[in-house]
Structure 1
């Protein structure tokens, strides 16, 4: 009997995570482990950026081929973001460009933010006032690849932050960003595409009571209900957890 594709993919990811956890444990660190898995059929170049006062891990970026994984530790209390870069070409010196998520034409972003559109994983892994971890997947800067973040082995009060669907498939033409081959590589947010306080939740619209989701935000939310669709989309998008390991999956498996 043939093994269902979803079961096979989940088994492969479980094996990859087990290997990553073993490697991370060998390091003997006391931080929080981030495990990144590329479940896509193409290469992904994760970009990383620590928020103000926090270091940027892995020099800000690296390459993950299809099926590859990487694991590293960040200190408790670390705050920052991770985003996928697609369609990248770099020379032997690590210089080049990406179709989406580019950070100044270098493989190692080194403190530079990624260009929009990009799907962003945001996290604050503890604060002076709280030991809880906060994390989300945000489409406020647009979308370029499906991403999910979840604790490994469960945790206290934990959930999954995700935009697991391919928003590019149904991206309105006014928001499309195309790669060198003419394929839709990203979908801009209304703020990035059209600007203005209303779409960007700034100025007179800079509060939860005055900034409401646009029709584009409603579209993003319908496709990815567990991701931020606009700046104040906290109720259904922000996750709270306390765990020692987190898995960030690019192109997460879809339920059958």
Structure 2
């Protein structure tokens, strides 16, 4: 008879945000995951909520042992959780966007000692789209490449981080992408990559209809990152 496998211990950094709340809710529905620390920016009004210990960002160093950290916070918070993971030798999954070149360098340096998965979008479908865009760009040299992204009116950055990542994939395939952004209503996220040649056009599209896809993707990546050797991983590296 096989012994029962212990749940994977998660530290969720940015727990008070929209993504953090989704991660807490979805993790609570699973027996193979246990949130041992939910870290938010401000001091928690209640130390333990639904069995999950809550900490402020200032208390991060006091967090209990964990197997992997998931970070969806603000750029100012990334440095601290990254440093904690390096000190404790734990992998990090981060979807914090808007980071600067210094922080990107810090993530690359950390990947020398721990497994790191940083992405602008944790949708598994977008991970596949990234690969398709790179392959299409390589197969269609000289074609125009246009990336159109649509999001809700409250999203400030444009183009979106996902659009820029798609553009990087297109560039790796040899294309030169152009961008267009739309902010309207409550659109969760739509990305279209169009390759246009003489007399024909190829369109690759992803539409998000539920924000939970990003949290599910991050949980998927967290599970598959544990036990991996140090390095920088993409979502598409963790699909299997």
TM-score normalised per structure 2? 0.27
After TM superposition, the score normalised by the length of structure 1 is: 0.26
